[in-house]
Amino acid sequence: MATTFKNGQHRAAVSAKEERARDAKLAMHEYEAEKLAIEVKTARLRALRLAKEAERPRVLSDHPPLPTSGAARRSSRTHRAP
């Protein structure tokens, strides 16, 4: 009777281990499929952005770009001749 109990426990443990292995394989498959879908979407969006940027004409300005920070703007005002 004790051997039957041990065999039953062993079968249950093996069965649980096999189920975890199947679940892990399925989870990895889902992860890889989602990763591939994200890569495809990213490539499509990148291509759209590059096409849009290529259509837009570049405007060359005679003036240098304005400073972006407030400190740079303030310092440029203080150094101007009156």
What is the structure's pLDDT at 79?
55
What is the structure's pLDDT at 20?
96
What is the structure's pLDDT at 10?
85
**Where do the H-state alpha helices sit in the chain?**
2-55, 70-78
pTM reported for the whole predicted model: 0.52
- CA 66 – CA 79 distance, rounded (Å): 15
What is the structure's pLDDT at 33?
98
Ranges of the chain whose pLDDT falls below 70: 1-3, 5, 59-62, 64-67, 69-82
What is the structure's pLDDT at 15?
92
Cβ 25 vs Cβ 33: under 8 Å: no
